[in-house]
């Protein structure tokens, strides 16, 4: 693969530290969620993953619509990321993607979301590794 784009992020202190990208566009303090034994009250890796997945999948839906010359409204994608024990001493993710694709009938919206799954690098990276539930609406 020849990378079209590369970025680098640096973490200091892990879940209760900070993370920043070398270009400075992301610069956040991190806090472990209360549900995971931390203090909460700040950004965390799961939230960053959910935000990236939602934005990327949204763009992939728009790209799929352009390829099919489908007229769609403003797409919104909600990504819910859960983390829990994997039964082997580690942890794993579960993801629910809710893609709302207005302006087309539900069958077309579903087809666009399924095509987006083949375009989005987050979907390609998680396929077969993480349980992903895809819910499509056209409101």
pLDDT tens across 11-31, in order? 999 999 999 999 999 999 999
Same domain? 56 vs 97: yes
Does 63 lie in the same domain as 128?
yes
Same domain, 86 and 117: yes
* Residue (of 102, 104, 110) closest to 70 by Cα position: 104
Q: Comparing C-alpha atoms, which of 139, 135, 56 is closest to residue 102?
A: 139
Asked if residue 52 and residue 39 are part of one domain, the reply reads: no
60 and 120 fall within a common domain: yes
Contact in structure between 43 and 29 (CB atoms under 8 Å): yes
Element (H, E) at 111: helix 106-119
Cα–Cα distance, 58 to 5 (Å, whole number): 18
Query: For the chain, what is the domain count?
Result: 2
Q: Are residues 55 and 67 in the same domain?
A: yes
Nearest-angstrom CA–CA distance, 31 and 126: 24
Verify that 68 and 125 share a domain, yes or no.
Answer: yes
Helices (H) and strands (E) in the chain, counts: 3, 6
pLDDT in tens, the chain (139 residues): 999 999 999 999 999 999 999 999 999 999 999 999 999 999 999 999 999 999 999 999 999 999 999 999 999 999 999 999 999 999 999 999 999 999 999 999 999 999 999 999 999 999 999 999 999 999 9
Same domain, 32 and 8: yes
pTM for this prediction? 0.95
Q: What is the DSSP letter of 83?
A: E
Those residues whose C-beta lies under 8 Å from the C-beta of residue 124, and which sit 6 or more positions away, are: 118
Q: Write out pLDDT tens, residues 123-137.
A: 999 999 999 999 999
Dig out the tokens for 66 from the structure: 């352009």
Q: Do residues 83 and 129 share a domain?
A: yes
Domain that holds residue 4: 1-43
Q: Identify whether residues 49 and 37 lie together within a single domain.
A: no
What are the phi and psi torsion angles at 108 (to 5°)?
Answer: -70, -45
The CATH number that applies at residue 133 is 3.30.300.20
Whether residue 36 sits in one domain with residue 7: yes
- Cα→Cα distances 133→58, 81, 82, 125, Å: 15, 11, 12, 15
């Amino acid at each position: 693969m020849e990378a079209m784009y590369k970025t680098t992020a640096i973490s200091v202190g892990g879940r209760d530290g900070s993370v920043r990208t070398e270009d400075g566009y992301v610069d956040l303090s991190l806090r472990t969620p209360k549900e995971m034994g931390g203090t909460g009250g700040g950004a965390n890796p799961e939230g960053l993953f959910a935000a990236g997945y939602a934005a990327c999948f949204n763009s992939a839906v728009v790209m799929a619509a352009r390829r099919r010359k489908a007229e769609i409204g403003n797409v919104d994608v909600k990504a819910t990321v859960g983390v829990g024990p994997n039964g082997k001493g580690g942890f794993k993710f579960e993801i629910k993607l809710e893609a709302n694709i207005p302006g087309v009938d539900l069958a077309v919206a579903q087809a666009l979301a399924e095509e987006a799954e083949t375009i989005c690098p987050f979907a390609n990276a998680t396929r077969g590794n993480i349980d992903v539930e895809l819910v499509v609406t056209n409101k």
